[in-house]
Amino acid sequence: MDDLRRLERLMACCPEKTGSEADGLPPVSEEDFFDMEVRMGADPDRTNIFPYVRKSENGEYMIDIYISDKSMYPEGYKRFVIREGYSFTEEDEDSFFEYVSSPDSVADTEVTDRMLKKVTEVFPHWHMKKYANDELGDIFRHMYFVCHKSGCREILYKAELANVALYLKRLDEYDMYGSTPEKIIGHNIPLKFLRILNNDGMIWLLADADRLQWNVDVYNAYSDHIIGTDISCAQWTYFQELYDGAGFFAGRPFSRALYKRLAGSNDPDLIHYYGMFFNLKDELDEFRKLRIPSAEDVYDIVEEMESMVRFVRRDSKLDERIRERKKNSDLEYKGKEYSVLLPRDSFDFFHEAIAQGNCVMSYASSHADGVTNVLFVRKNDALRKSLVTMEIHGGHVEQVFGRFNRIPDVEVLVFLEEYCRKKRIWYDPEFIIRKGLGAEDDIEIEYEFEEEGIVSDDSLRNLYSAYIRDFRKRMCWPSFCPEEDEKEYRQLEFEDCFPKVA
């Protein structure tokens, strides 16, 4: 035990009992002992911890903890009892925390969960947070320090600041004489801001005393914009950027829409990409129409915006050539449910790339120069909504992809049969599906879907496979189709192709 902890114990002046001493609390039942022995036998090389919430003869609830220890012959365990109003002796406190903090210590998940549920029920003023099962040391620290007069840790736990209490030993400085959470941490920190820092993504801000004071100033400047205490690290970084008044957000006002987009993310670099997004919006008029993207999409959208700016700066005639291609092409088509459209300009490529999450933006120049053909398949009742991207190259359909390069629905593939017949374009859906899967030619379609994880649902997998088989039968010569799957294809003869002449 270090000198600081000894001083804290001296200041608390709390009554002491040995770890196993609890008036009116007999040992656990023989059944519980048998259960402990079974569990210890299943994992003899680990230190097993068995916590129970029990009631003494006088009706007082206590935490009865048995810890396996082979050196404790003949018992084979050591017992600690956490009781409200009492601390362990100095020796037992050191021993207890050495046990529960050891990486070799384990506790049965079911037993621990049952104990925590009961603790929350009978000791609501302990304000137990939701701990993970691998946080045994933190669980028992919380229960031990909150149950008796123990100084600043007791105050913080009872103020529902468990993370701050656990982080206390890592702080550069704190006031052990403080009677409130604010006085313990110092720096004139408001209680609400302390509650904001009381989470895994923000607690590290307490470590540096000099930086903490600056963060308190940031909070005071933007506290009016903060509702509640659930703030992500990315949201706090946004306030820091605004307060600095430099970089991407220099001179920009607070944006509630952006603040909401940053919720739930503890990635401090996220704000950097949003800063790039706002700067790029000023580059082109079309970008000003863009809404603030979600945190999941901002990285890809910024990348596409940068590509768009490079295209426009490098090729000022790009849009003109794309519009000319649309004007003179006969590749557009309208069916009963779907239509095939050509892009109108480079921004159509940009919006398609964002909506589909694909690399179609890189095809803009090739399309404009007639090297290849990029087309959009849309539903007739939603022509402005991206659905499927298609490339036609060399007179055949080269690739067809839905969002994030997924294989399109069978209904779309069937429509493309109609489209290609009308436009005299070679089309093979099996080729398209295999290309989408990146599969080898000698792998069965059913196997491909399952292994590649593209279609995980059995019914969908069977649907695609049935469509491929149906397409083969409809498109091959009648005598070329085997009546049974076991039969092999035979080579076409003259009379098969020209029966009348033969």
Q: How large is the greatest C-alpha to C-alpha distance in the chain, in angstroms?
A: 113
Position 451 scores a pLDDT of 43
Instruction: pLDDT band for 443, please (50, 70, 90 cuts).
Output: very low
- For the cut 60, the answer to whether the pLDDT of residue 39 exceeds it is yes
Mean pLDDT over residues 402-407, rounded? 87
Per-residue pLDDT of 68-120, as tens digits, reads: 887 776 778 899 999 999 999 999 999 999 999 999 899 988 889 999 999 99
Position 460 scores a pLDDT of 64
307-311, 322-326, 489-493: which has the highest mean pLDDT?
Answer: 322-326
Position 393 scores a pLDDT of 94
Q: Catalogue the E-assigned strands of 15-83.
A: 16-17, 47-55, 61-68, 77-82
Contact 48, 68 (CB under 8 A): yes
Position 146 scores a pLDDT of 95
- Of all residues in the chain, what percent carry a pLDDT higher than 90? 56
Mean pLDDT over residues 237-255, rounded? 87
Per-residue pLDDT of 116-128, as tens digits, reads: 999 999 999 999 9
Position 343 scores a pLDDT of 96
Instruction: Look at 464 and 333; give whichever has higher pLDDT.
Output: 333
- CA angle, corner 480, sides to 475 and 484, nearest 5? 100
Q: CB neighbours (10 Å) of residue 98?
A: 12
Position 500 scores a pLDDT of 57
- For the cut 90, the answer to whether the pLDDT of residue 50 exceeds it is yes
Mean pLDDT over residues 16-20, rounded? 86
Instruction: pLDDT band for 499, please (50, 70, 90 cuts).
Output: low
Mean pLDDT over residues 184-210, rounded? 91
- For the cut 80, the answer to whether the pLDDT of residue 484 exceeds it is no
Instruction: Look at 320 and 495; give whichever has higher pLDDT.
Output: 320
Per-residue pLDDT of 156-188, as tens digits, reads: 999 999 999 999 988 888 888 899 999 999 999
- CA angle, corner 241, sides to 239 and 247, nearest 5? 160
Mean pLDDT over residues 467-483, rounded? 68
Beta bridge partners of 333: 340
Position 492 scores a pLDDT of 57
Closest by Cα among 119, 124, 135, 111 to 51: 111
Instruction: pLDDT band for 439, please (50, 70, 90 cuts).
Output: low
Position 494 scores a pLDDT of 52
CA 183/CA 177 separation, integer angstroms: 8
- For the cut 90, the answer to whether the pLDDT of residue 371 exceeds it is yes
Position 442 scores a pLDDT of 40
DSSP state of 175: -
Mean pLDDT over residues 432-442, rounded? 63
Mean pLDDT over residues 434-441, rounded? 61
Instruction: pLDDT band for 207, please (50, 70, 90 cuts).
Output: confident
Position 487 scores a pLDDT of 47
Average pLDDT value over all residues in the chain: 86
CA 272/CA 276 separation, integer angstroms: 6
Position 240 scores a pLDDT of 92
CA 388/CA 410 separation, integer angstroms: 12
Instruction: pLDDT band for 437, please (50, 70, 90 cuts).
Output: low
Instruction: pLDDT band for 251, please (50, 70, 90 cuts).
Output: confident
